[in-house]
Amino acid sequence: MAQHLLREIEQLKKRILALGATVESSVNKAVYAVEHRDTDAADKVIKGDKAIDQAEVDLEEDCLKVLALHQPVAIDLRFIVAVLKINNDLERIGDLSVNMAERAVFLASRPYINVPFDLNVSAEKAQQMVRQSLDSLVSLNAAMARDVCRMDDEVDGLNRSAFESVTRVIHAQPDHAETLIAYLSVSRYLERIADHATNIAEDVIYMIEGVIARHGAGPLRIQ
């Protein structure tokens, strides 16, 4: 029974990592689509979302089966609970990538304007957080996961600055309001992606240490 549980857990790990790689690629393509006004790249992100959704459903079902059949405890239980939560966050990141891709299609149809904030910085930071949260999962590195959590405030600050910049420019250039709001939406999607990457990092910490790190919680340890 123990060996069978270990095999099941190893399969779950492979599948969550595979889903993570797919979602990370979706984020990267969506960012590229926005930055280069590339409708082909955007279309690939949109069409690829069904596969991500199905993978999320299948993985959740497999986690629940393992829980029901093996009733794992301690670190095995923490691992499966963390995978369930990370699975959900990855699916949401996939959805946000689709949202960005849809904005890319819209922006490609509009006249080019200068974006009044540095979208590249927000994109690079959010992409880094997704990549590093998944790397922390692969390597089971709690220190790396905590670095991801610390980066979240930076992306929040960038999104606030973007909002202020767009609000100011809309008053001066009302004819470009729709385009500016679309770029602001992309900034918001990146901020939400960073939030989900932070959730993943917090779940990695929980998986490794049994410590609930979410929302600044104290050292509550789950055995």
Residues 16-51 as b or e (16 or more Cβ within 10 Å = b):
beebbeebbebbbbbbbbbbebbbebbebbbebbee
Going by C-alpha positions, the residue among 50, 41, 79 that lies closest to residue 63 is 79
Q: What is the model's pLDDT at position 4?
A: 87
The answer to whether residues 147 and 132 touch, using CB atoms and an 8 Å cutoff, is yes
The answer to whether residues 37 and 104 touch, using CB atoms and an 8 Å cutoff, is yes
Mean local confidence (pLDDT), 127-152: 95
Going by C-alpha positions, the residue among 122, 55, 119 that lies closest to residue 91 is 55
Delimit the domains of the chain by residue range. 2-216
CATH of domain 2-216: 1.20.58.220
Q: What is the dihedral of CA 47, 48, 51, 57, to 10 degrees?
A: -100
Q: Which two tokens stand for residue 115?
A: 């974006």
Summary count for the chain: helices (H), strands (E): 6, 0
Gyration radius from the chain CA atoms: 19
- Is the pLDDT assigned to residue 155 strictly greater than 80? yes
Q: What is the model's pLDDT at position 215?
A: 55
Mean local confidence (pLDDT), 145-162: 96
pTM for this entry: 0.92
Mean local confidence (pLDDT), 158-178: 95
Mean local confidence (pLDDT), 187-192: 98
Backbone angles phi, psi at 144, to 5 degrees: -65, -40
Q: What is the model's pLDDT at position 222?
A: 40
Backbone angles phi, psi at 211, to 5 degrees: -110, 130
Q: Which tens digits make up the pLDDT trace of 25-79?
A: 999 999 999 999 999 999 999 999 999 999 999 999 999 999 999 988 888 999 9
Mean local confidence (pLDDT), 140-156: 96
